[in-house]
Chain A
Amino acid sequence: MALQATALVLLVLPLAGAFALAVLALRVPRWAVWAIGPGVVWAAFVCTLILLADSFLQDRAHDFTYWTWIQSGTFDLPANLLVDRLSIFMCLVITGVGGLIITYAVGYMEHETDPSYARFFCYMDLFVFSMLLLVLAGNFVFLIMGWALVGLSSYLLIGFYYWRYSAVVAARKAFVMNVIGDIGMILAAFAIFVNYHSLTFSGVFAALPRADATWVEIIGFLLLVGAVAKSAQLPLHTWLPDAMEGPTPVSALIHAATMVTAGVYLIGRMHPIYDVAVWAQGTAALIGAVTALMAASIAVVQTDIKRVLAYSTMSQIGYMFLAVGVGAYAAGFFHLLGHAFFKALLFLAAGNVIHALNGEQDMRRYGGLWRQMRWTSVCFLIGSLSLTGIFPLVGFWSKEVVLGDVFSKPGTTYFPQALWAIGFATAILTGFYTGRMWWMSFAGRPSADRPVEHPHEASRVMLVPVAVLTVLTAVGGFIQINAGFHPGYKLVEDFLAPTLGHLPWHARDLEYIPTAATLLLGGVAFLAAYRFYVSFVWRPWSGAVPRLQRLLEHKYYFDEAYDQMFVRPMDAIASGADRTMEEPVLEGAPAGVAVATQAGAGALSLTQTGYFRTYILVFLAGVVVAAVVLLLVRAF
């Protein structure tokens, strides 16, 4: 009972915080905003810890039903929250990493005006609530509500600087892309309801063993549409880089650590469906691998530090999709956790730099920050090395588990091994673009056109969350060290096993060879970037392949293609409809009615002579006519 209340409090606290900030924002001083904004998230973190403790002690999942929400004939929809190992795991990431990031924002957003400042924390709390609803949902209706609400809060936060045109456009783009995913989710829910007559997870999963395989595949693909849109995977990925228009803490929390990993969570949560829907699952793995490679290659040519990180996020989520797509669920979630640590760290450290350089985001205008921002540089370096996958940081353990599990998956085809090869190539590219980002920004000489000559290190409220994330990045990986080693130990997998099950296959004896190769080549690529971008010993690679460079700089022409395929035709249809429908018909109809009424009234008013006798005559004539008609009817 107490636990049931805890789960509800965990969910409602951030919503209450958002509501309080929305109502009180302009009446309370800043310190109250600090107390409410991050405060409710930390309180939610404490609630999560209580649930975690219970989960360790009791080792059972809870499906808390609070009341019956919809009752219609034989259909019954309870308002229920599912508190099991997987949702607790996600809540830990959301409230823990989220708390750190929102605390960081207290410093990062300090230059905003008071209304904007409160608005920011209001949106952030709303986001945390939506995300918690998404992961705690025990039925598809709550899941879709959370799914749509995170899209809404993402939209609000990308468009936070609403006076900037580019921010508004980016927010709209993200929203439209996400709605495509929402439609997939809703169609999936319809298909599920039609087939299983239930919308609770437990009801649906119980009905699966006697389900029609074709329908399960269809549902799997529809859910995948939602997952792909939310997680910025091919082909619905174009919104994520543009989403960097939002403030940096937003990018760290929503567009790196939590919301974009919702697709991974969805596939993990729906694993009973995906275990049956092999085609949908294979597609998820393929999309993940291809997105990982493609995003990493684009990151090589980006010059905006946040965009590099955005493409890197897409790439790393590709790894997670790859993992859950081959059935290595725990590996996917371990990488989700590790990625939340080091990517939040990278974004926040980049935020320190951006904050110190008056909002400059172009890496070509950085250079030499190592000497002036030592703390941030060290943290950023640890994050970069973790992203590259250097031993013994968390990125090494989590990425190698993903790649190792994919490599070792047995089967009749070499499909997983082909995907592993893509992932392997991605890892090398990751090392290269991460090295490029690190060396360009922090090494070498200060760029000549740097906006601030002597940048100052960030304030303490910003450095402490970064430092905490640095520690987590450095030692967080030791909770599961089975990459390349056999057997090692694997706390994440064991923790999630009651929900996701254990990995159904064992590591191959050879697994340490690809693991070592990934580590080695990634590290070499990281170092090689120094020779390209700082010492200029090697001439730029783009000189040899200008076409490739152009292709990458245009991000494989996805935006252009979508512009041609969807935006332009829609514009043409809209303007055509404006000319042929809107103006003549929709606007013409009311105007026409008005004109006709006026003219008709003018004509009819001629009968109003004002003479009493005329009226009487008409009246009597009417009576006579009526009498004659009645008589005639009677007669015949």
Chain B
Amino acid sequence: MPDYGQIPVGSGTLDARLILGLAAVLFILGAVGVLVRRNPLVILVCIELMLNAANLTLITFAAQLHNLEGQLFALMTMTVAAAEAVVGLAILVDIFRVRDVDDVDQLSDLKG
């Protein structure tokens, strides 16, 4: 019965809980950042942070379960994150062209 709590890292092993905890912390940092920061660029960065936290959990579980699908999916997430960054930045650049925005709350034109 292999010990799923320990995952091999280099020549030794590491407790999976540490890595998952790190991922959780990163994710919360990102989420809170999205919620509280106003600068649109920082918000994009925070979204990247959350995505990477998710990636970290994916590869951790992949290592734990000896299943390559998690790693593959992390690659997939990176692709999506890249695309998302491109689209998000493009939108921002476009917005900056017409007006100078330093607070996302200024972009509330769709208020019902």
Contacts and interface: CB of A to CB of B under 8 A. Distances in A.
18 contacts: A604-B112, A605-B112, A606-B112, A609-B108, A610-B107, A610-B108, A610-B109, A610-B111, A611-B104, A611-B105, A611-B108, A612-B43, A612-B104, A612-B107, A613-B34, A613-B35, A613-B36, A616-B35
B34 A608 contact: no
Q: Which of B43, B107, B111 has the most CB of A within 10 A?
A: B111
B98 interface: no
Interface string B43-62: 10000000000000000000
A448 to B, nearest CB: 85
B31 interface: yes
B91 to A, nearest CB: 12
Given A620-B31, A620-B35, A613 B112 contact: no
B1 interface: no
Interface in A599-629: 604-613, 616-617, 620
Contacts of A612: 43, 104-105, 107
B9 interface: no
Interface of B: 31, 34-36, 43, 104-105, 107-112
A613 B31 contact: no
A602 to B, nearest CB: 9
A360 to B, nearest CB: 75
A609 B104 CA distance: 13
B63 to A, nearest CB: 23
Contact of B111 (A604, A609, A616): A609
Contacts of B110: 608, 610
Nearest to A607: B112
Contacts of A609: 108, 111-112
A607 B35 CA distance: 17
Contacts of A606: 112
Contacts of B36: 613
Contacts of A604: 112
A606 B105 CA distance: 17
A608 B35 contact: no
A406 B43 CA distance: 106
Contacts of B107: 610, 612
**Which of B34, B108, B110, B112 has most chain A Cβ within 10 Å?**
B112
A610 B105 CA distance: 8
Contact of B105 (A613, A616, A617, A620): A613
B112 A608 contact: yes
A623 to B, nearest CB: 9
A608 B111 CA distance: 5
A612 B88 CA distance: 14
Contacts of A610: 107-112
Contacts, number: 33
Chain A binding surface SS class: helix
A610 B31 CA distance: 19
A611 B109 CA distance: 9
Nearest to A606: B112
Contacts of A605: 112
A606 B111 CA distance: 8
Contacts of B43: 612
B40 to A, nearest CB: 9
A617 B110 CA distance: 17
A609 B107 CA distance: 11
B112 A616 contact: no
B36 to A, nearest CB: 8
6 smallest beta-carbon distances between A and B, as pairs: A605-B112, A608-B112, A610-B108, A610-B111, A612-B104, A610-B110
Of A607, A608, A610, A617, most B-chain CB atoms within 10 Å: A610
A613 B111 contact: no
A610 B107 CA distance: 7
A612 B111 CA distance: 11
Nearest to B34: A616
Contacts of B104: 611-613
Contacts of B111: 608-610
B108 A617 contact: no
Interface in A577-611: 604-611
A617 B35 contact: yes
Nearest to B110: A610
Interface string A300-314: 000000000000000
Nearest to A623: B31
A199 to B, nearest CB: 64
Nearest to B31: A620
Contacts of B109: 610
A345 B31 CA distance: 100
A19 B30 CA distance: 78
A604 B112 CA distance: 8
B41 to A, nearest CB: 13
A78 B105 CA distance: 78
A540 B95 CA distance: 104
A612 B105 CA distance: 7
Contacts of A607: 112
Nearest to A602: B112
B103 to A, nearest CB: 10
Interface in A277-312: none
A607 B112 CA distance: 7
Nearest to B104: A612
A604 B31 CA distance: 26
A179 to B, nearest CB: 56
Nearest to B111: A610
Given A610-B108, A610-B110, 16 more contacts: A605-B112, A607-B112, A608-B110, A608-B111, A609-B108, A610-B107, A610-B109, A610-B111, A611-B105, A612-B43, A612-B107, A613-B35, A613-B36, A613-B104, A613-B105, A616-B35
Contacts of B105: 611-613
A605 B111 CA distance: 8
A608 B110 CA distance: 7
Nearest to B40: A612
